[in-house]
Amino acid sequence: MGGGTYSSTSRLLRSETMGYTTKSTQEIFKARNINSAMNPFGINVRESRDSAEHPNSLAIILGLDETGSMGTVPHFLVKEGLPLMMDSIIKSGVADPQVLFLGIGDHECDQAPLQVGQFESSDELLDKWLTDLYLEGHGGGNGGESYMLAWYFAAYHTTIDCYEKRNQKGVLITVGDEPVLPGVPASFLKSLMGAGQYENYESLKLLDKAREKYHVYHINVRETASGTRLLVIDGWKQLLADNFLIAERRTDVARLVVEAVCESAEIDEVQHVTVPVQPAETMML
């Protein structure tokens, strides 16, 4: 995967045709169950590969919390954030970004706690995987979400040329408003992924494993009651230090993704495409 290029012109035309800027979250994200193509069961690996078209690929994983109020973030991205994000990354000097979307839920209570796209470069395919996300909208009162599943998948089920050929780490960013749950049992991973060898993983171990080939970030969205809690903020600071980023509003997410990618790629001057400020929407807290 990863063929094609990102075209702002074709993305604008498709946005107008599909009504991305005017339709509600429910009208755009129509899935009422996990898309079969995004079901991780049986997936061995997702690949980010160099090609003649993209000789210097950079693997970028964006794990989006799809529980509760966090469905507003994918909606913002498809409305305006994604094209502005991609334009800024490319104009800043990352010529060949390849983005894989993950949907992240709660493995203790959700039906679809991990959803997996493909590494893509083209505007059409990035839109496809983003809008194929099933916004389950649940989560639970168990003190966190399963962001560690993004770390697990990145560590054990991706192969990326930027790291394997050039020793350049990819970029892994999760977005949400809760703490990460402390761990995930082998029995769950077997039911999630299918046949294989698994163990009981602490989240810290998965974070360390993902860090071997990715720069790992988390963006906390403070626009919800949970996202403002000191327990949430302090916990992430202890885990990630300077790689913990705060979005005061969901419209900050695209800018922070760009800055994280450019920092990881050691780009000094970030060329931001301005994200217009949108009126606040009512959020489920």
Given the DSSP bridges, would you call strands 201-202 and 183-184 parallel, antiparallel or unpaired? antiparallel
| pLDDT in the model for residue 152 | 98
C-beta neighbour count of 116 within 10 angstroms: 25
What does pTM read for this prediction? 0.95
Instruction: Dump pLDDT digits (tens) for 88-119.
Output: 999 999 999 999 999 999 999 999 999 999 99
Taking the C-alpha atoms of residue 124 and residue 152, their distance in angstroms, rounded to an integer, is 27
**Tokens (6 digits) for 8:** 């702002």
Taking the C-alpha atoms of residue 25 and residue 93, their distance in angstroms, rounded to an integer, is 32
**Cα→Cα distances 27→2, 94, 168, Å:** 27, 33, 39
Paired with 115 in beta bridges are 103
CA neighbor of 61 nearest in space, from 97, 107, 7: 97
| pLDDT in the model for residue 34 | 96
Is residue 81 within 8 Å of 99, Cβ to Cβ?
Answer: no
Is residue 6 within 8 Å of 96, Cβ to Cβ?
Answer: no
CA neighbor of 109 nearest in space, from 73, 146, 70: 146
Provide the sign of the torsion angle of the four alpha carbons 228, 234, 239, 241, taken in this order.
positive
Is residue 89 within 8 Å of 259, Cβ to Cβ?
Answer: no
Domains of the chain as residue ranges with CATH? 8-264 (3.40.50.410)
Question: CB neighbours of 271 closer than 8 A, spacing ≥ 6?
Answer: 88, 91, 92
Instruction: Dump pLDDT digits (tens) for 64-75.
Output: 999 987 989 999
Is residue 103 within 8 Å of 64, Cβ to Cβ?
Answer: yes
Paired with 219 in beta bridges are 175, 245
Angle at 130 between CA 19 and CA 68, to 5 degrees: 95
- 8-18 and 123-131 helices, crossing angle to 10°: 40
| pLDDT in the model for residue 139 | 82
| pLDDT in the model for residue 44 | 97
In which residue ranges of the chain is pLDDT below 70? 1-2, 274-285
Is residue 86 within 8 Å of 273, Cβ to Cβ?
Answer: no
How far out from the chain centre does Cα 146 lie?
A: 13
